[in-house]
Amino acid sequence: MLQVTPEEFVERNLAMPGHIILSNRPGTWLARAINGAQAAASGQVEVWQHAMRMGRDGLVISQESTKQALPLSHWKGARLKIWRNGAYTEKMLNSLVDMDEARLGTKYDYPGTFFQLLTVIPWVGDWLAARADVPWRNFCSEGVCEVERRVSPQFGGSGACQISPARIDAWCAAHPPLWKSFMVELV
């Protein structure tokens, strides 16, 4: 795995504005709790704990307690997986960033995170989670999915965007050759 400093990551253009970034480190304490509960319910420990988008000027757009544009150094010590869609034009990528930037300052979807836990219930979990959707608030991966669907409506599969970072990873991995990824460790 490539090890780079946040400065090298930006200098080498390892992710373009608009690309999806997954992190093995959760963004918030609540994300840690949700990931732990989902791992207990599913019997699997998820590697990818946080989803965000590469912004402009070396900033990452991330849903913390509020949606923020943070320096990449915020994830120093984390492993990152960058997903990019080869069919996206520069205009499409910029559109993704514009849509995420328009949401800067929005609050975290605390009720939605509870309902995301319901997605582990067979047959009814996704249906229940979709009913609890609060469109003006998001948790990290939900926000990435909703914005992505404005450019690529089939992103993440059918149903509400009550999707975990690990499910984003699995969905992208299941759709080559359009979606390609690579990993880095920020040192």
Provide the whole-model pTM: 0.83
Q: Which residues pair with 4 in a beta bridge?
A: 186
What is the chain's mean pLDDT, rounded? Answer: 85
- Indicate if the pLDDT at residue 59 is higher than 70: yes
Q: What integer is the mean pLDDT of 46-63?
A: 91
- pLDDT at res. 149: 95
Which residue has better confidence, 156 or 109?
156
Q: What integer is the mean pLDDT of 164-171?
A: 90
User: How many domains are contained in the chain?
Assistant: 1
Q: Are 25 and 73 in contact (CB under 8 A)?
A: no
- Which residues lie closer than 8 Å to 70 by C-beta, 6 or more apart? 59, 60, 62, 64
Residues 114-145: tens digit of each pLDDT: 666 666 666 666 666 666 655 556 778 888 99
112 band by pLDDT with thresholds 50, 70 and 90: low
DSSP letter at 145 equals: H
Q: Are 94 and 18 in contact (CB under 8 A)?
A: yes
- pLDDT at res. 51: 94
Range of the domain at 98: 2-186
Residues 3-47: tens digit of each pLDDT: 999 999 999 999 999 999 999 987 666 666 666 666 666 666 568
Alpha-carbon distance of 12 to 96, in angstroms, equals 21
CATH number reported for the structural domain that contains residue 17 in this entry: 3.90.1720.10
